[in-house]
């Protein structure tokens, strides 16, 4: 599995529940289209986290980079209905950062032949 992480804060006028509803609708749409396997949205608790951390953390799970690339291609088409789902989330956030992780060790990993 690959894990695409999204970190963000809300713009000052945005209500947290409206944001969460928009994220859940967007991610449900992507899952219904077969473009992701699963997703989560979480919120920082008790102010704990790194000083440069954001309040919200979301992630998308994909089988592999091919599925993630298909999701990016679909969203970047900027066509309806995905454009409205994307805008409903993107227009509410600031301080956005992204990371990409994978399960480890990789399923195809052979052991004992590593040079480093």
pLDDT, tens digit, 9 for 90 and up, residues 30-53: 999 999 999 999 999 998 888 888
Q: What domain range is 56 assigned to?
A: 2-102
Q: How many domains does the chain have?
A: 1
Tokens 């032949």 belong to 113
pTM, two decimals, is: 0.90
For residue range 63-116, what is the model confidence (pLDDT) as tens digits?
999 999 999 999 999 999 999 999 999 999 999 999 999 999 988 888 988 888
**Domain contains 109:** no
**Domain contains 113:** no
Structure tokens at 85: 């789902």
The answer to whether the beta carbons of residues 62 and 2 sit under 8 Å apart is yes
Helix (H) or strand (E) holding 69: helix 65-76
**Domain contains 79:** yes
Strand partners, 61: 3, 38
What CATH number did the domain enclosing 65 receive?
3.30.70.100
**Domain contains 115:** no
**Domain contains 116:** no
Q: Please tell me what DSSP assigns to residue 36.
A: -
**Domain contains 38:** yes
Structure tokens at 52: 């440069």
Q: What pLDDT score was predicted for residue 49?
A: 85
Structure tokens at 27: 């991610």
**Domain contains 70:** yes
Structure tokens at 47: 């102010």
């Amino acid at each position: 599995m690959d894990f695409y992480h999204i970190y963000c804060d809300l713009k000052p006028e945005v209500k947290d529940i409206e944001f969460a509803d928009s994220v859940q609708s967007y991610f449900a749409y992507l899952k219904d289209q077969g473009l992701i396997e699963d997703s989560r949205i979480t919120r920082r608790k008790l102010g704990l986290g790194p000083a440069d951390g954001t309040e919200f953390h979301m992630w998308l799970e994909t089988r592999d980079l091919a599925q993630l690339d298909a999701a990016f291609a679909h969203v970047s088409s900027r066509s309806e209905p995905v454009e409205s789902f994307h805008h409903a989330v993107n227009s509410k956030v600031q301080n956005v950062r992204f990371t990409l992780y994978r399960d480890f060790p990789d399923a195809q990993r052979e052991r004992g032949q590593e040079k480093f």
